[in-house]
Structures are given as C-alpha cells and as structure tokens.
Structure 1
Amino acid sequence: MELKANDGYRQLLATISDTYTQGQTRAAQAVNAQLVETYWQVGRHIVDFEQAGQVRAEYGKALVDTLAADLSLRHGKGFSRSNLIRFRQFYLAYPKGATLSHQLTWSHIVELLKLDDPLERGFYEQQALRERWSVRELVRQKNSQLFLRLAASKDKAGVLQLAQQGQLIEQPTDLLREPYVFEFLKIPEPHQVSETQLETLLCDHLQPFMLELGKGFTFVGRQYRINVGGTHYRVDLVFYHRILRRFVLIDLKLGEVQHHDIGQMNLYLGYFAAEENTEGDQPPVGIILSRQKDELLVEYATYGMNSQLFVQQYQLYLPDREALRAELERVMWEAGQ
C-alpha cells in the first residue's frame, strides 16, 4: 500500500500543515504587534521631547523634518516626515498605550487616525475589531459615513454607546440603517434602473451589499418563491441572521412605498413564521427598501401590526456628510440643554 493512501499518514500531513499555518499566523500577529508598539513608542519619544521643552519654539516646526532626515540616514525607509507625523499622532490619540497593537494592523490604525472626532474614531475602531473588517472594508464604511448614519437617529446616550462599544446587534431594530447606501454599484447619475436590474446588481455585488447590511447576515435566496392559497409570490431577497436567529426578508422599491407593499410584506412575514421557521427560530423581520417614503403613510399602514416590519430608505450615492454631521451635532446639543 502506498504511504499516501495510509489514513495515519494523511492525518499526519494535515496536522503538520495546520500547525505550520497557525504558526505563520501567530508570527505575523506578533510582528504586527511589535511594529505597532514600536511606532507608538517613537511617537511618545517625540511628544516627550517637545513637552520637556528641549527644543526652542522657533525650531519646533523643524523637529520632525530633521528627525526624518537623520533617521532615514541611519535606518533607511520607514522614517519619512509623513510617517513620523503619524507616529506622533498615534501616541496623542492613544496616550495610555498602543491598545490596538495585537488586534489591528498599522494600515487599520492609519485609517482611524484620519478621523479627528474621537467619537467617530472610537466607533470605527470597535466595529473593525468586532466585525474583523479588512482595511478595504474599513475605508468603505468610513466613506459611506456609517457612524453618522447610525448616530444621527439616536439620542446622546446611544451615540456614546456607539462610540464606546460599536453597533451591538441585540434586537431587530439594531439591524436598521438610514439610509442604506449602494454607492458600490457605481450606477452613474442620472441613469435609471428597474427593480429587477437593481436586484441583479446587488446580487452581483453580494459581498459589499452584505457589508452594508451589517454583521450576521447569511444569504438564502433571490426571488424566493412561496405559495399561499394556490397563489405564487416571490420575495426579492431572503437572508438569515445568525445572531438574531431569524429570517430577514427584503423587498426593493424604486419609488415611494405604497400601503399595498406593506400589506404584501406582512403576508410574507406570516408565511415565513408559519411555514419556514424551525425550532429555535425567532419571528422573521421584513425590510422594505425604498428610494422615498411617506412617514405618515407608513405609520398608518403598519398600525396595529405586531410583526417586525420596517420601511427604510436607500440611495445609490454617498450621503451628504455635512448634513449628517449637522444632524448629529443637533442631537448632542439638544441633549446638553
């Protein structure tokens, strides 16, 4: 019998391979942790030197330039002026220690340091840790103003919780964002798409779409067919949320949502609760995504409903950052009165 066909040999091969892969991962993590710690220490040395008054005021601005030139001569690349400014900024932002060194890469930290607002920076730090965002995912969520979209709809306590803990998914309302942003589809203005085309584009860009939806979503199907009393219906998109343990049904609308759209989604929810849920599943959630919505119509059309049915807006382009920030500032200002 050939050695490669031996079960014991195959197990040995798999064990050694796993051990090597895990060792590589731990080594990379250790190198990253040491690198980030080193950058923090460099920043601390610069700030300590400045604060001790060891350089006259008129030479203060030249300190980083001089250090960059001298350190580059001694150590080569890595000590550019921009890098030294980042090291200094890193220490000033996290003066109690490089707490991120074992969890995020230096590239993550550079993206976080680009945020001046400590609340906003804290949110993205926690989300990157909690959801294990890549640098690319972190950049996308920053550009889409995720923090401002979530924070503008909360009170002061909610905003502070976001900054300190990130977004906690504990109940269906924690899934919601306003608006949802699908800029990753790159649909040029003022190009118009049909509902079917929009659905197709979202499925073709499933990874960024699920990043926009948030943590915990698992894709189940598109145009999910159900049968009620001999009549066939199709739910645009069906997901299962593994944290909340419930189906999430999504219907897409190009224009303003109508009352019959809400009634239809409620039908879908009733069907899934009765026919699709299995032991341990919680009641399903329905989200109608619309370009526009009449808040009063939604209020009346959902009157008396106990189901988890929500009407949320989406847009194809990045939201106005200044408008969102103004709304957040209003929330924080009113809370302080």
Structure 2
Amino acid sequence: MSNKPTHNKFHSEIIELLRAARKKVVQAVNHTMVITYFEIGKMIVVEQQNGQARAEYGKELLKNLSATISKEFGKGFSETNLKQMRQFYLLYSKGQTLSDDSTKPQTMSIDFKLSWSHYLTLMRIEDENERAFYEIESTKNNWSVRELQRQCDSALYSRLTLSRNKDKVKELSEQGLILQEPKDAIKDPYILEFIGLPEKSAYSENQLEEEIINKLEHFLLELGNGFTFVARQKRISFDDKHFRIDLVFYNRILRSFVLIDLKIGELKHQDLGQMQMYVNYYDREIRLEDENKTIGIVLCQNKSESVVEYTLPEDNKQIFASKYKTVLPSKGELKSIITRK
C-alpha cells in the first residue's frame, strides 16, 4: 500500500512524457506539411510563369498534376487544394525574389507557426493588415482553428480598431493586441453568442451571469489577453450597506482588477455611478501598492453615448460602458453596429 502513491506518480510522469512527445510530433508534422505546401505552391507558380498561353496551360497543369499526385498519395491533392497552395505561396512570399530554381528553399525567412488549417482560414481574409493581426493573435494565444474562425466571425479586428488612431491600427497588424492602458482591453460590442440566449429573449441579469459562468472559458477568450477569473457576486460592505459586483477578473498584463456589471436593457447614469463606487472601493481597499488602478466595465444591451460622455469625467481612464450581443450578428449587421459608433 505504501508504494501505491509513488507507483501512480511514476505512471503519471510516463503518460505526461508521452503526451508531450506526441504533441511535438504533431507540431513537427504540421510544420513540415505547411513548408511542403508552400514549396509546392512556389513550384506551380514558377511552372505557370514559364508556360505558354498561361491561362490554359495553368488549368491543364493543375488538372494533370492533381491526377498524378492523387494516384501516388491519395486524397488531399485536388485541383482546389493545389490552387490553395499556389495562393498560399503568393500571399506569404511577398518580399522574396522568385527563382526558377525550384529546388532552392525560400522558406527560411518565413517562420510558419500555425497549421495548414489555420492558414486556410487566414487566406480567406482579403485585408492584409487584418490577416496579419489574426495570424499574430492565433500564434500568441495558441488559438485552435475553431477559436480563430470564431474571432474572425465576430469581427474582433474591426471592433478593436474603433477607438484607435491610424498608428495604433497599424500596430495591430504588426504586433497584434498590445495592452498598455485600460482602453486597449475594451471591445464594443462584446459578442456573447456562446451563452445560447436569444437576442430578444426576456432573460434576467442573473440568468445572463449564470450562462457566462457556465461558459467561462469562452468568455475569457472574448475578454482577451491576460484575463483570469477571480469571483462572481463579490460582496463589498461599508456603513452597514452591502453591495455585490457581478464578476471580478484580474488582468495579469495590465496588473489591474477588472470589475464587470451586467445590465439588461438601456444603460442608465446610475449604472455608471455604481461602477465608479465599486472601482473606488477596490482602489482604496483591495488593490496593492504595486498594482495599477481598477478597471470597471458595464455591459449593457443598449446605451446612449451622451449619457456615458456626461456621466463620466473628461479624463476618465477607468470606467467603460460596452454593448453586448447574445447572437452572432451577420457581417452586414456587425458592419452597421461598428460604423454607427
């Protein structure tokens, strides 16, 4: 009996070692596949450029190449797949000199860190800056393909560009999302389609909170980089009065507590005043001396920008009001929401 814990620990260590090895193998296979597809794309481009009557020659080239490779290696090399490899090379070889020597590798200056499925998703994004942003964020946050697609569908890039000047927007495509001050972490609107509540359903604030907690991993993804969950219905008390903050998070990058209050319907000035009280309490009673000031976010279904502007001080850097949507809007609706701001 005394040897059992050690024995179980020994088994667990072996299992973890095998899991780590398997992960490395999968990563190596994915990396090799991406490089190989890049090289195939390059070879197709070179051959097409050398061919006569390019349009016809290119079409026949892909058709014949697909038949030959598929016969040798099976599925995965249809004409459509070969076109994607060609597009992949054209998109990611910018700045490199095209050589007729297809045996000379041109991938050394390109650091491919994602899977082929990730790049297939990225290649559907026409805007070069937007595509670069999602590639950086996918790598930095280890997004799965599903998470990447969800962020694209919810127009994360467009939502983040709303309150940024041209230099800051350019920074998104070069470095991804960099959190330097509270407003960098704020989105408007927040897209909460994962909680499963209909957009016009008569649900309560408690129900909204409960669904967010049930899907906390998804909510953290929507919040963004550096967020960790601290508490729900956090009670604070003074002068024999008791208040409860819906959700409390901490952002490790900003080194700040982040308080979130959920409101059904139209935002009222009292909601912002209440959040100001919560933030003041945390700043004076909870946060440590080496931590930055507390951030407060009121999530509401609708808001008046004038109410926000005239309720909060002109130099406000701590309190924010953002709308939320419980159903993923269409691209047209998202564009309308964003351009109305």
TM-score normalized by the length of structure 2: 0.87
Name the CA shift for 1:279/1:237 in 2 (closer, same or farther; >3 Å): same
Name the SS for the 2:301 alignment partner.
strand
2:48–2:57 Cα contact (<8 Å) kept: no
Which residue in 2 is equivalent to 1:72? 70
Name the CA shift for 1:205/1:2 in 2 (closer, same or farther; >3 Å): closer
Identity, % of aligned pairs?
A: 43
Deviation string 1:204-248 (CA, Å, 9 cap, x unpaired) is 111111111111111111111110211000001111111111110
Which residue in 2 is equivalent to 1:335? none
Letter in 2 for 1:199: E
Name the CA shift for 1:329/1:54 in 2 (closer, same or farther; >3 Å): farther
Name the CA shift for 1:34/1:5 in 2 (closer, same or farther; >3 Å): same
What displacement does 1:57 show? Answer: 3.5
Name the CA shift for 1:56/1:140 in 2 (closer, same or farther; >3 Å): closer
Which residue in 1 is equivalent to 2:179? 169
Which residue in 2 is equivalent to 1:46? 44
Residue 147 (str. 1) matches residue 157 (str. 2) = yes
Q: 1:61 aligns with which of 59, 62, 77?
A: 59
What displacement does 1:54 show? Answer: 4.8
1:148–1:324 Cα contact (<8 Å) kept: no
Name the CA shift for 1:37/1:209 in 2 (closer, same or farther; >3 Å): same
Residue 293 (str. 1) matches residue 303 (str. 2) = yes
Which residue in 1 is equivalent to 2:27? 29
Deviation string 1:96-119 (CA, Å, 9 cap, x unpaired) is 455353x21111111111212212
RMSD over equivalenced CA pairs, Å: 2.7
Name the SS for the 2:125 alignment partner.
coil
What displacement does 1:326 show? Answer: 8.0
Name the CA shift for 1:152/1:270 in 2 (closer, same or farther; >3 Å): closer
What displacement does 1:18 show? Answer: 5.0
Name the CA shift for 1:300/1:189 in 2 (closer, same or farther; >3 Å): closer
1:145–1:319 Cα contact (<8 Å) kept: no
Residue 271 (str. 1) matches residue 281 (str. 2) = yes
Deviation string 1:35-66 (CA, Å, 9 cap, x unpaired) is 11111111111111111225654333232222
In 2, the alpha carbon distance for the partners of 1:89 and 1:233 equals 57
Structure 2 segments unaligned to the other structure (5+ residues):
97-105
1:64–1:84 Cα contact (<8 Å) kept: yes
2:182–2:317 Cα contact (<8 Å) kept: no
In 1, the alpha carbon distance for the partners of 2:203 and 2:274 equals 23
Residue 313 (str. 1) matches residue 323 (str. 2) = yes
Residue 284 (str. 1) matches residue 282 (str. 2) = no
Structure 1 stretch 185-194 or stretch 138-147: which is displaced more?
185-194
What displacement does 1:295 show? Answer: 1.4
1:248–1:284 Cα contact (<8 Å) kept: yes
1:64–1:81 Cα contact (<8 Å) kept: yes
Residue 106 (str. 1) matches residue 116 (str. 2) = yes
Letter in 1 for 2:62: V
In 2, the alpha carbon distance for the partners of 1:328 and 1:93 equals 28
Which residues in structure 2 correspond to 1:1-16 (within 5 Å)?
none
What displacement does 1:10 show? Answer: 8.1
Name the CA shift for 1:113/1:305 in 2 (closer, same or farther; >3 Å): closer
Structure 1 segments unaligned to the other structure (5+ residues):
331-337
Which residue in 2 is equivalent to 1:156? 166
Which residue in 1 is equivalent to 2:234? 224
Q: 1:135 aligns with which of 129, 145, 168?
A: 145
Name the SS for the 1:154 alignment partner.
coil
What displacement does 1:304 show? Answer: 5.7
Which residue in 2 is equivalent to 1:333? none
1:152–1:324 Cα contact (<8 Å) kept: no
What displacement does 1:29 show? Answer: 2.0
In 1, the alpha carbon distance for the partners of 2:135 and 2:9 equals 40
2:183–2:317 Cα contact (<8 Å) kept: no
1:290–1:312 Cα contact (<8 Å) kept: yes
In 2, the alpha carbon distance for the partners of 1:132 and 1:203 equals 22
Name the CA shift for 1:189/1:3 in 2 (closer, same or farther; >3 Å): closer
Letter in 1 for 2:38: W
TM-score normalized by the length of structure 1: 0.88
Structure 1 stretch 185-194 or stretch 278-287: which is displaced more?
185-194
1:199–1:252 Cα contact (<8 Å) kept: yes
Structure 1 stretch 306-315 or stretch 55-64: which is displaced more?
55-64
